[in-house]
Amino acid sequence: MTSKTAAPSTALQSSEKRFLKALRGEPTDRPPIWLMRQAGRYLPEYKERRAVAGSFLDLCYTPEHAIEVTLQPIRRFGFDASILFSDILVIPDALGQPVRFEEGIGPVLEPITTAAQIDALDGDRVLDHLMPVFKTVSGLRAALPDETALIGFAGAPWTVATYMVGGRGSPDQGAAKALGYNEPETFQRLIDLLTEVTGDYLIAQVVAGAEALQIFDTWAGSLPAPYFRKWCLEPMRRLRARLADQCPNVPVIGFPKGVGASYETYIRETGINAISIDTGVDPAWAAKVLQPLGTVQGNLDPLALVAGGETMRESALHILDTLGHGPFVFNLGHGIVPHTPPEHVGELVELVKEWKP
């Protein structure tokens, strides 16, 4: 795609939305809040809609259903941002490596482990295949309340590659590492292809109406430093540069989960606007080292949200008191888990909305 993009106009200009102001580092009346996996199985209305839709991918690829499940948590809790309902694994599906989601297992793909299989993937069909996702994005822009920002997203090349090569989630990403260590050139071809098509995909989401983008690198923390640089940092730097060129006004949030002190290198070297930190990062360290470089998003333990009560209150207030004075977006350190009581989410949103800087 070569033309520059402008998001459709709505009653409240994008620029005035609290979440987008925070991503640009501008002062806000209070920190904005949204939660990773805010749509999902902890909500009874999600389970109902999921049953009607059929398979998980049918839910992602039917705009009417995907719009509905994206809006469910907005109606209930009034979050400042909504995230497009989809999954990071629509990219392999679109490249011609079919994905299915099995109850109790998660995503299942036919593993790709040879150069010939990588060469058979077809980057040219990605945007056509994902047309329903773009319809969901534009439908959401029309349906969301004026003050609610819309986040588009994708998985980072390394994390998506771990599923493509391993065929499913794994605790150590062993299959992707084996291919990367034994056949570095072959694996690099896959990373390069994913970097290219992920850029196409994110730009098309912006054209359809996404106002900010988040890139999930869930398994970044499992790589030794030189490989983290090669397979996470470098592709993200290229992706960010392309987005800066094609949609310069759209802020980008990175989430290289579990990388510890490398969060600093990541924000410095990629040029992203904001960094989402996992639960293990000390908010005081993030305030001192990361906030001068960009907006910090995070990092309540999803299990403190399950616990609720004083544990949740104290944990949330500690984060707010430490990070809430600089550019900050309240979130979790990882996604909401299915056994989270929805009432706890309501209490958390109230607490954040009442907190004063």
Mask for 140-159, x = binds ligand 1CP (CB under 6 A): -------------x-x----
Please tell me the distance from the alpha carbon of residue 356 to that of residue 97, in angstroms, as a whole number: 48
Q: According to CB under 6 A, which one of 56, 134, 263, 266 is a site residue for ligand 1CP?
A: 56
Nearest to 312 by CA among 324, 322, 302, 297: 302
Task: Retrieve residue 302's tokens.
Answer: 């999803």
Looking at beta carbons only, is 50 or 141 nearer to ligand 1CP?
Answer: 50
Does residue 79 bind ligand 1CP (CB under 6 A)? no
Does residue 36 bind ligand 1CP (CB under 6 A)? yes
What is the residue type of 20? Answer: L
Stretch that binds ligand 1CP, among 35-43, 190-198, 239-247, 288-296 (CB under 6 A): 35-43
Does residue 50 bind ligand 1CP (CB under 6 A)? yes
Catalytic residue among 42, 49, 61, 87: 87
| H helical segments located in the chain | 18-23, 44-53, 56-61, 63-77, 90-95, 115-120, 126-129, 131-143, 157-166, 174-182, 184-208, 225-228, 234-246, 262-270, 283-285, 302-307, 309-323, 342-354
Judge contact between 34 and 151, C-beta under 8 A: yes
Looking at the DSSP bridge assignments, the partners of residue 100 are: 108
Among positions 220-279, residues that touch ligand 1CP (CB under 6 A) are: none
Is 100 catalytic? The answer is no
Q: According to CB under 6 A, which one of 20, 39, 213, 320 is a site residue for ligand 1CP?
A: 39
Does residue 330 bind ligand 1CP (CB under 6 A)? no
Nearest to 344 by CA among 91, 140, 139, 43: 43
In the complex, the smallest distance separating the C-beta of residue 170 from ligand 1CP, rounded to whole angstroms, is: 7
Residues near ligand 1CP (CB under 6 A) are 36-41, 50, 56, 83, 85, 87-89, 101, 106-107, 153, 155, 169, 216, 218, 335
